[in-house]
Structure 1
Amino acid sequence: MPTPSARITLYLSGNDKIIALPSGTGRRWAETALDLAGFTQNHDQIHTLLLDDQARARQALTHLHQAARDCQVSVATHPRPYLGDIAEAIVTALPGHWRADVLGLREPQDQHYLRDYLWETGSLHTLLDTKPLGFAAILRDGGGTELLLIERPSDGSYMVGALTPSPDHLHATAPAPRSVIASEAHIAARFIGSRLLPDYERAVHLSRLHEVEEDLRWAQEAHEPGTYPITESQAALHRFRTHASAFIATLRKGQSLSAEQAVFLDRMEDGLALDAPDDPDSKALADAEAVWRIDGEALIEMARAATPPPVTPAGPKVLPTAVPPPPAAITPASAPRR
């Protein structure tokens, strides 16, 4: 017997389409209603109805309401634009090459999964833990930075927070970057560029410093060369080489280096064999370990001096901009016209 807990939420997209999100414990009945109505489903399991043919769209919406009644599925129209459109507007406004991946949050465990990867344990974390959100989007820059975008149910504003870097590349120990809140996509993009990303870069830099300092202290003080486990030494050297590459790039990009400092960075880059493969049996890595133990502290000191300053927000997180009125409910008789 069908269950009343199944529901379909319709989102109006600016790309001449309606996005449908089936959810609830009886979600399969909602999916059946969407299939019967003629909605298409892509590889991300997002159901779409194109609006380029008005007559066909009205007919599909009529069939959807009929099928939903037959399957005991509730249908509701979300009052705000489709989050995927907001995500695309944000990544288009960000510097560099960003992309947005939209996720349908059909079940509580979908949100809990995202919650576990958030860096900041604040209001964004709480929302993922307590409120059904419908959709989320992950914004990626291609270089490892991942941001989470959601819509706040209480007022329709947008929240963006950082996901923790992959533990395979960095153990995040610094205070988490602070999330930002905005009422519109272009404001969110501005806050991301001026607050969240600088905060994120600082937190990554501090986490790198903490990790290399711990590893170097372990190598220099706790063990004599040749007396500690080879696998642990190789792992520590790998981490140092990875972080040293980032430090050197940062120092060359943002600092006024003296001739002596520039020569030191060149020597460290060559001595650490940063371009060499991670082959533990290579002579280059054996030499790199000696450079790490002898000159690693000097590189760490230079990197510490180049730590970005804390980000000081200029004004409130949310700008007092007007929020447009919600669109009319999508019904068979009121399908959007071209």
Structure 2
Amino acid sequence: MTSSAHITLYLSTHDKIIALPSGPGRRWAETALDLAGFTQNHDRLHTLALDDQSEARQALTHLHQAARDCQVTVTTHPRPFLGDIAQMIVAALPGHWTAETEPLREQQDQHHLRDFVWETGALHRLLDTNQLGCTAILRDGGGTELLLAERPSDGAYLVGALAPSPDDVHLTAPAPRSVIASSARLAARSIQTRLLPDYERAVHISRLNEAEEDLRWAQDREPGTYDTTHLQAALYRFRAHAITFIATLRDKTTLSAEQVFFLDRMEDVLILDDLDDPDPEALAVAEAVWLVDGEELIEMARVATPPAAITPAKPKPLAAAIPPPAAAAATGPRR
């Protein structure tokens, strides 16, 4: 009889064993883990501490006994736990990144994540065609979210961007391409040098496109024909983008005195204190400045568009008589 439930064990770098239950009979696997003394942490992962090796051995013996009784198969995974890889990656990235492991208990959990992956490339296909035990989400605290997954066929790590909320920006720029790496160190380097610059550029271009579209729509309307609700929504979207544009211009460009004065004035006028119930006079002033000077702000922001990431040239292939090093052979080809 083929088991409908499975438990995969990982040896974690944090002196514990991680257990991932899977399969249609996953609840039987969870029962076996509970009977053996595994506990669930804040990430909903079943863990077994290795502080007391005697107790740990006893718990593993009980696990195999309970698994037999519950008709659950147990295997030990030879590669590092993905959550540990995620922690190594965020530790190597600049800024304040965090990593959260996402157990994929049901197939629908995986499909839900797939729908939020921005690029419909390698990472999207991996989630669509493989049953994964877990993934990890990497967050920078400023709204950027990346998804990390391990490819079962060769153990390569795939990292791709999750799409920003449509409430923040309507995405019109090409999605940043996922990166593939054979180690946490290489993944962190590819994220920093390629994925994040492409992500920043795509979001910036999408903001520019949406801000310009809203401004053109408002400028093309005849006076008195505006739908107040639609007009305010367009102004609020522009305001949100303007905040980002101004911050980017101040942080990444050299500004003249006139440009500094212009940005200060735009910020004072557009950033309303109460968006839910704004002062009608302040709203009217913001609308007037938006219609007259919004184009200049967009043009300044367009000049500050981040450059596209430079993909390193592929090295020349080695002579056929010389076999490739093992590390290179284990790395999946870059799309």
Unpaired stretches in structure 2, ≥5 consecutive residues: 316-323, 331-335
**Structure 1 counterpart of 2:305, one-letter code:** T
The Cα shift of 1:281 comes to 4.1
Tell me the residue number matched to 1:313.
311
> Which one has more relative contact order, counting CA pairs under 8 Å at least 6 apart?
1
The Cα shift of 1:231 comes to 1.2
Tell me the residue number matched to 1:29.
28
Asked if the contact 1:276/1:284 (under 8 Å) is kept, the reply is no
Q: Return 38-47 or 52-61, whichever deviates more.
A: 38-47
**TM, length-normalised to structure 1:** 0.91
Equivalences for residues 120-159 of structure 1 within 5 A: 120-159=119-158
Tell me the residue number matched to 2:327.
322
Q: Does structure 1 residue 253 correspond to structure 2 residue 251?
A: yes
The Cα shift of 1:264 comes to 1.4
Asked if the contact 1:30/1:68 (under 8 Å) is kept, the reply is yes
CA–CA distance in 1 between the matches of 2:313 and 2:105?
Answer: 36
Deviations 1:309-329 (A, max 9, x none): 211211459x97738x9xxxx
The Cα shift of 1:189 comes to 0.9
SS in 2 for 1:311: coil
SS in 1 for 2:101: strand
Tell me the residue number matched to 1:335.
none
Q: Which runs of 4+ in 1 moved over 3 A?
A: none
Distance 1:241 1:320, change over 3 A: farther
Equivalences for residues 166-315 of structure 1 within 5 A: 166-221=165-220, 223-272=221-270, 274=271, 276-282=273-279, 283-315=281-313
SS in 2 for 1:295: helix
Aligned length: 321
The Cα shift of 1:43 comes to 3.7
CA–CA distance in 2 between the matches of 1:279 and 1:112?
Answer: 36
Asked if the contact 2:208/2:302 (under 8 Å) is kept, the reply is yes
Distance 1:50 1:292, change over 3 A: same
Asked if the contact 1:177/1:203 (under 8 Å) is kept, the reply is yes
Deviations 1:173-228 (A, max 9, x none): 1100111111111111111111111110000000000100110011001x234322
Asked if the contact 2:272/2:278 (under 8 Å) is kept, the reply is no
**Structure 2 counterpart of 1:226, one-letter code:** G
Asked if the contact 1:20/1:48 (under 8 Å) is kept, the reply is yes
**Structure 2 counterpart of 1:197, one-letter code:** L
Tell me the residue number matched to 2:333.
none
Deviations 1:143-162 (A, max 9, x none): 10000000111111111100
Asked if the contact 2:176/2:202 (under 8 Å) is kept, the reply is yes
SS in 2 for 1:174: coil
The Cα shift of 1:280 comes to 4.7
Q: CA RMSD in A?
A: 2.0
The percentage of aligned residue pairs carrying the same residue is 72
**TM, length-normalised to structure 2:** 0.92
Q: Does structure 1 residue 83 correspond to structure 2 residue 79?
A: no
CA–CA distance in 1 between the matches of 2:54 and 2:103?
Answer: 28
CA–CA distance in 1 between the matches of 2:57 and 2:314?
Answer: 44
